[in-house]
Amino acid sequence: MSIFKGSGVAICTPFKEDGAVDYELFAEQIEYQIEGSTDAIIVCGTTGESACLDHDEHIEVIRYCVEKVNKRVPVIAGAGSNCTETAIFLSKEAQKAGVDALLLVTPYYNKSTQKGLIEHYSLIAEAVDIPIILYNVPSRTGVNLTPETMAYLVNNVKNIVGVKEASGNISQIAKLMSLANKDIELYSGNDDQITPILSLGGIGVISVLANIAPKKTHDIVDSYLKGDVKKSAELQLEAIALCNALFCEVNPIPVKKAIQLQGRDRGVLRRPLCEMEPENAKKLQKAMKEYGVL
């Protein structure tokens, strides 16, 4: 049984002006997502600025999210680290908090070998009893999780069940699905490639776009899974301009600005992230208006 099918939002972590986590706004964002037909919530991922949360904050944000969601949709916690022991610690704490699954990014900066990646993920998987989704995003981490390595892990480690693929390399993803005999839960990690990845056997997306357009993102996936490929493709293409605007600066700078423009967040970022360039903010605002989310 899949962890989820459809659109999972990589939810932002809202902060107060003094930098503290704004749990009141976070609760509002969670309700906005559930009301908007989001199929799962991914907490403390890249978009949630997990790299700038200390361990206590990281765990508390996960706990709070699980409590507020209250089993209405699956909650998946980002618990990856470039340190295996840290990833094990965060994964165990996330399991204690009651999450449905873990999202584990490849170790960044260290640039591990594929053998090291297998050892890293296997050790984490042995330490917990819940499903694990691997997260491949070489543009941010400096290391690519190869199709051969992903297929090995899925076929040999019982609770490693899926992958969020954000390499952007469609040929690599096709090779993965071939090697894994489709026995893998594949999620698009790029909002501009949802429909193409669904066509290779994907079952959903872990999305930045869903922060500001949950229903529209849900519908891209839902249309495809219900057999209306043409509609899914049309909805995908309609979203391309906004997808591009949401990544004109490093994520999550644009999406936090977008939520601020919608009046649902203060847009506060933790350093080293900073305020969006005015010209890019204008482009983002224009794309949001054209897409009908502003």
Q: What is the pLDDT of residues 220-237, one digit of tens each?
A: 999 999 999 999 999 999
Which one from 68, 164, 216, 257 is the annotated catalytic residue? 164
Which one from 32, 121, 135, 187 is the annotated catalytic residue? 135
pLDDT tens across 85-144, in order?
A: 999 999 999 999 999 999 999 999 999 999 999 999 999 999 999 999 999 999 999 999
Mean pLDDT of 239-250: 98
User: To which H or E segment does residue 154 belong?
Assistant: helix 147-156
The larger pLDDT score, comparing residue 68 to residue 265, is at: 68
Residue 1: both structure tokens together: 């049984």
Mean pLDDT of 271-285: 97
- Going by the DSSP 8-state scheme, the letter that residue 21 receives in this structure is B
Name the percent of the chain lying above pLDDT 70. 99
Alpha helices, DSSP H only, in the chain? 23-35, 55-69, 84-97, 114-127, 138-141, 147-156, 170-179, 194-198, 214-225, 229-245, 253-261, 278-291
Mean pLDDT of 42-63: 97
Mean pLDDT of 141-148: 96
Supply the pLDDT for residue 203. 97
- Going by the DSSP 8-state scheme, the letter that residue 211 receives in this structure is G
115 is catalytic: no
Please state the length of the chain: 294
Residue 252 has pLDDT above 80, yes or no: yes
Using CB atoms within 10 Å of the CB of residue 115, give its burial: 0 to 12 exposed, 13 to 18 middle, 19+ buried.
exposed
Name the percent of the chain lying above pLDDT 90. 97
Under the banding of pLDDT at 50, 70 and 90, the label for residue 182 is low
The Cα 135–Cα 49 span in angstroms is 15
List CB contacts of 249: < 8 A, sequence separation 6 or more: 276, 277, 280
Residue 264 has pLDDT above 70, yes or no: yes
Scan for tokens 């979203």, then name that residue. Answer: 239
- Answer positive or negative: Cα dihedral of 263, 264, 265, 267: negative
Instruction: Please answer whether residues 104 and 79 qualify as being in contact, where contact means their C-beta atoms are separated by less than 8 angstroms.
Output: yes
Bridge partners of 165, per DSSP, are 136, 188
> What is the domain partition of the chain in residue ranges?
6-229
Domain 6-229 has CATH 3.90.79.10: no
Under the banding of pLDDT at 50, 70 and 90, the label for residue 183 is confident
User: Poorest-confidence range of 1-5, 63-67, 213-217, 275-279?
Assistant: 1-5
Q: From residue 185, how far is each of 8, 150, 181 by CA, in Å?
A: 13, 11, 11
Instruction: Please answer whether residues 254 and 205 qualify as being in contact, where contact means their C-beta atoms are separated by less than 8 angstroms.
Output: no
Report the mean per-residue pLDDT for the chain.
97
Mean pLDDT of 160-177: 97
3-state secondary structure of 107: coil
Supply the pLDDT for residue 76. 98
Residue 2 has pLDDT above 90, yes or no: no
Using CB atoms within 10 Å of the CB of residue 129, give its burial: 0 to 12 exposed, 13 to 18 middle, 19+ buried.
exposed
Residue 181 has pLDDT above 80, yes or no: no
257 is catalytic: no
Residue 1 has pLDDT above 70, yes or no: no
The Cα 42–Cα 131 span in angstroms is 14
